[in-house]
């Protein structure tokens, strides 16, 4: 069977990769074990959150799936960080887990360029050193011009519940062993990481009303006016369920300490490195002994689902100990545990093996996306999947691969971090990683990226027309507010754009009081107002960041040839030669971000670069 692109895995990275590659015009095969794994949420049944919401907006602006999928299947929507500046506003939504996976599957199945192949990939095929397809365990061969691997936690996956160990990619599904060995034998640097998940509870075994009345559960509702993720969503979102907050106590902490010798995390059974920012219950108790309690969120996994996700209660203790820990939580004294939490170790490829298009330098035509690159989270995986998929599709059709810069998108920041710094622990996106986060807001993701998505073939004519209407409306509103006069507290009449620079004045108030008129469209009034207000209120800061971006771009755009001889550079230490040769940065700007590389070393490289280019010319 021949295809332009073969995508291995149909999780969040695989789904976006297949969708993006197919929209470039490539014929795509998705190789996955079962239909139930398509768009699956094996951990938290939610999309978005701080910085992660930015990634979803960017995926949507480029023409990806995730934003529309969560808008169609979300059951509680919240915009986080409203009390802070617009640079860190981030949407988050609880998903109906089953409905989300079904929506993604239907979208992929309806695409004429996508074919599903059910089976386990065993070995990467190569022709003259170039990736040329995949051989399945059942003997079938999928031949292709490009291959995208998005195997999540399946590469040599090993699950731990107390002393019990079981090879698995996730609960109930076998791991991918042969493919892991195929990558290892190709010379890729393989590491080992760990993640985990909490026990799932039966909702019907919990008396939520009684726990709320007793003051041990706090009800968390969604926003009164939910903000959608997708720029193409026009119908108002609807919150359908509450969530609940509860806290651990000293009795729970004592129970953990009593059984800590049975935890694979603390008895040497697990060697993989876990996420520092999302610690297990054992880590919280043992590493933060001064904390009297830790916050937990009780989150339903769907409207009809009986399963309840205990966010913040990830653990890998024996199942009987987990059951005692569940019932030690106030309000959960009679809760029924449907299945225990577990830790999972898995192999990953050091992402310094990749270029900014997520193509491996070792094997042309092979792209990697998601947890195989050392990241953690559905959103991070999906963002990588989109870039890898577009690049693979374009490469298969004889076109150039694509990339995004740090000043263009959070996706660009993530990929640049990965390929220059590598991973010592699972990577997660934070707003603090963005040097220009005021430029990279959720409200302007479409203005920044939809033209790129159009150029790449991901934005259809209907979506493009809506975007052009939105951009024209935005530009007219800016002009209108620069001309309109309003009276401020001092009694002076000033233009509306100047008035908005005063912190106490908001555009919504000016519109409500009839002082100015702003064009909006159904379903996107919040977006129309916020993008214009931020552009005017923070105009001076935005201008300074744009100037900073331009200065950085001059250095970022200075290309370093792939065959650049670091060994021949006078004055470059052996350590600098080793670090730069290892990562092979493509620009001086990227070289400056390689861990351990000094600005002085980059200056020396820059000086020698001119001589090298002259000699080659």
* Same domain assignment for residues 484 and 528: yes
Q: Helix 66-73 vs helix 97-109: angle between axes, to the nearest 10 degrees?
A: 130
235 has pLDDT over 90: no
| Tokens describing residue 13 | 């990275």
Of 500, 518, 545, the position where a domain reaches its end is 545
314 has pLDDT over 90: yes
Distance CA 40, CA 118 (A): 16
Domain range enclosing 586: 558-616
Examine residue 387 and state whether it is found in any structural domain, yes or no: no
* Same domain assignment for residues 533 and 485: yes
The whole-number pLDDT of residue 531 equals 95
How many C-beta atoms surround the C-beta of residue 490 within 10 A? 8
Examine residue 480 and state whether it is found in any structural domain, yes or no: yes
578 has pLDDT over 80: yes
For 260-281, the pLDDT digits (tens) are 999 999 999 998 898 888 899 9
Question: Predicted confidence band at 41 (pLDDT cuts at 50, 70, 90)?
Answer: very high
396 has pLDDT over 90: yes
What percentage of the chain carries pLDDT values higher than 70? Answer: 100
Of 498, 519, 545, the position where a domain reaches its end is 545
The whole-number pLDDT of residue 452 equals 98
Distance CA 573, CA 54 (A): 39
Instruction: Give the pTM.
Output: 0.92
Q: How far is CA 344 from the centre of its chain?
A: 20
Examine residue 482 and state whether it is found in any structural domain, yes or no: yes
Mean pLDDT on 170-197: 94
Q: Classify strands 366-368 and 141-149 as parallel, antiparallel or unpaired.
A: parallel
The whole-number pLDDT of residue 200 equals 97
Into how many domains does the chain fold? Answer: 2
Closest-CA residue to 334 (of 150, 203, 177):
203
Mean pLDDT on 575-597: 88
The percent helix, strand, coil of the chain (3-state, each to 5) is 40, 20, 40
CATH number of the domain where residue 596 is located: 1.10.150.570
The whole-number pLDDT of residue 502 equals 93
* Same domain assignment for residues 536 and 468: yes
* Same domain assignment for residues 473 and 523: yes
Give CA separation, 50 vs 428, 429, 530, in Å. Answer: 11, 8, 18
User: Could you give the count of Cα atoms lying within 13 Å of 322 in the half-sphere of its Cβ?
Assistant: 26
For 439-481, the pLDDT digits (tens) are 999 999 999 999 999 999 999 999 999 999 999 999 999 999 9
617 has pLDDT over 80: no
* Same domain assignment for residues 572 and 539: no
Mean pLDDT on 236-258: 95
Examine residue 167 and state whether it is found in any structural domain, yes or no: no
Q: Is 34 exposed, middle or buried (0-12, 13-18, 19+ CB in 10 A)?
A: exposed
Examine residue 585 and state whether it is found in any structural domain, yes or no: yes
Examine residue 291 and state whether it is found in any structural domain, yes or no: no
392 has pLDDT over 90: yes
Three-state DSSP at 284 gives helix
For 506-547, the pLDDT digits (tens) are 999 999 999 999 999 887 888 999 999 999 999 999 999 998
The whole-number pLDDT of residue 300 equals 96
* Same domain assignment for residues 574 and 535: no
DSSP 8-state class, residue 38: T
| Tokens describing residue 275 | 């996420």
User: Could you give the count of Cα atoms lying within 13 Å of 17 in the half-sphere of its Cβ?
Assistant: 38
The whole-number pLDDT of residue 594 equals 87
Q: Is 61 exposed, middle or buried (0-12, 13-18, 19+ CB in 10 A)?
A: buried
CATH number of the domain where residue 505 is located: 1.10.10.1800
* Same domain assignment for residues 494 and 540: yes
Give CA separation, 42 vs 164, 169, 171, 341, in Å. Answer: 20, 10, 9, 11
* Same domain assignment for residues 509 and 537: yes
Three-state DSSP at 88 gives helix
Examine residue 586 and state whether it is found in any structural domain, yes or no: yes
Whole-number mean pLDDT of the chain? 94
193 has pLDDT over 90: yes
Higher pLDDT: 25 or 82? It is 25
Q: What is the CA radius of gyration of the chain?
A: 25
* Same domain assignment for residues 516 and 576: no
DSSP 449-501: HHHHHHHHT-S-HHHHHHHHHHHHHHHHHHHHHHH-EEE-TTS-EEEHHHHTT
Of 491, 521, 545, the position where a domain reaches its end is 545
548 has pLDDT over 90: no
Using left for φ > 0, alpha for ψ between -120 and 50, and beta otherwise, residue 116 falls in beta
Question: Predicted confidence band at 401 (pLDDT cuts at 50, 70, 90)?
Answer: very high
Examine residue 191 and state whether it is found in any structural domain, yes or no: no
* Same domain assignment for residues 502 and 563: no
The whole-number pLDDT of residue 286 equals 95
Higher pLDDT: 614 or 98? It is 98
Extract long-range pairs of 291-295: CB within 8 Å, 24+ residues apart.
292/249, 292/250, 293/247, 293/248, 293/249, 293/250, 294/247, 294/248, 295/245, 295/246, 295/247
The whole-number pLDDT of residue 558 equals 85
């Amino acid at each position: 069977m021949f295809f332009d692109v073969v995508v291995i895995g149909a999780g969040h990275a695989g789904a976006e990769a297949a969708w993006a590659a197919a929209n470039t015009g490539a014929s795509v095969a998705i190789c996955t074990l079962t239909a139930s794994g398509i768009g699956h949420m094996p951990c938290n049944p939610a999309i978005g959150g701080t910085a992660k919401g930015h990634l979803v907006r960017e995926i949507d602006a480029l023409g990806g799936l995730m934003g529309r999928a969560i808008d169609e299947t979300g059951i509680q929507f919240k915009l986080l960080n409203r009390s802070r500046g617009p640079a860190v506003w981030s949407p988050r939504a609880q998903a109906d887990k089953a409905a989300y996976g079904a929506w993604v599957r239907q979208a992929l199945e309806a695409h004429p360029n996508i074919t599903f192949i059910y089976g386990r990939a065993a070995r990467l095929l190569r022709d003259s050193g170039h990736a040329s397809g995949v051989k399945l365990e059942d003997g079938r061969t999928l031949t292709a011009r490009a291959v995208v691997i998005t195997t999540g936690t399946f590469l040599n996956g090993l699950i731990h519940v107390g002393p019990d160990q079981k090879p698995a990619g996730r609960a109930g599904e076998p791991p991918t062993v042969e493919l892991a060995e195929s990558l290892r034998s190709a010379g890729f640097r393989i590491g080992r990481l760990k993640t985990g998940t909490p026990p799932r509870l039966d909702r019907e075994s919990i008396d939520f009303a009684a726990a709320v009345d007793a003051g041990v559960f706090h009800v968390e509702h969604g926003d009164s006016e939910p903000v959608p993720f997708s720029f193409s969503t026009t119908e108002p979102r609807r919150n359908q369920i509450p969530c609940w907050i509860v806290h651990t106590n000293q009795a729970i902490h004592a129970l953990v300490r009593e059984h800590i010798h049975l935890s694979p995390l603390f008895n040497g059974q697990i060697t993989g490195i876990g996420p520092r920012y999302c610690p297990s219950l054992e880590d919280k108790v043992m590493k933060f002994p001064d904390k009297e309690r830790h916050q937990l969120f009780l989150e339903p996994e769907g409207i009809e689902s009986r399963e309840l996700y205990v966010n913040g209660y990830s653990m890998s203790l024996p199942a009987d100990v987990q059951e005692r820990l569940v019932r030690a939580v106030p309000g959960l004294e009679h809760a029924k545990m449907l299945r225990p939490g577990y830790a999972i170790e898995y192999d990953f490829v050091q992402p310094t093996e990749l270029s900014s298009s997520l193509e491996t330098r070792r094997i042309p035509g092979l792209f990697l996306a998601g947890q195989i690159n050392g990241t953690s989270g559905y959103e991070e995986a999906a963002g990588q999947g989109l870039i890898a998929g577009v690049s693979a599709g374009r490469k298969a059709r004889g076109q150039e691969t694509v990339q995004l810069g740090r000043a263009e998108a959070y996706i660009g920041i993530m990929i640049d971090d990965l390929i220059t710094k590598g991973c010592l622990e699972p990577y997660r996106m934070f707003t603090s990683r963005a040097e220009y986060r005021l430029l990279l807001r959720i409200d302007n993701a479409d203005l920044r990226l939809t033209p790129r998505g159009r150029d790449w073939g991901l934005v259809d004519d209907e979506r493009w027309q809506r975007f052009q209407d939105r951009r024209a409306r935005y530009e007219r509103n800016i002009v209108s507010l620069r001309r309109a006069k309003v009276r401020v507290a001092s009694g002076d009449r000033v233009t509306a754009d100047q008035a908005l620079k005063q912190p106490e004045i908001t555009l919504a108030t000016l519109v409500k009081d009839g002082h100015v008129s702003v064009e909006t469209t159904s379903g996107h009034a919040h977006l129309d107002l916020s993008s214009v207000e931020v552009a005017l209120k923070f105009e001076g800061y935005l201008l300074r960041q744009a100037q900073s971006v331009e200065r950085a771009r001059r250095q970022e755009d200075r290309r370093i040839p792939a065959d650049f001889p670091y060994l021949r550079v006078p004055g470059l230490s052996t350590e600098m030669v080793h670090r730069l040769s290892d990562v092979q940065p493509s620009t001086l700007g990227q070289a400056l971000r390689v861990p351990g590389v000094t600005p002085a070393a980059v200056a020396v490289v820059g000086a020698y670069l001119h001589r090298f280019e002259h000699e080659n010319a």
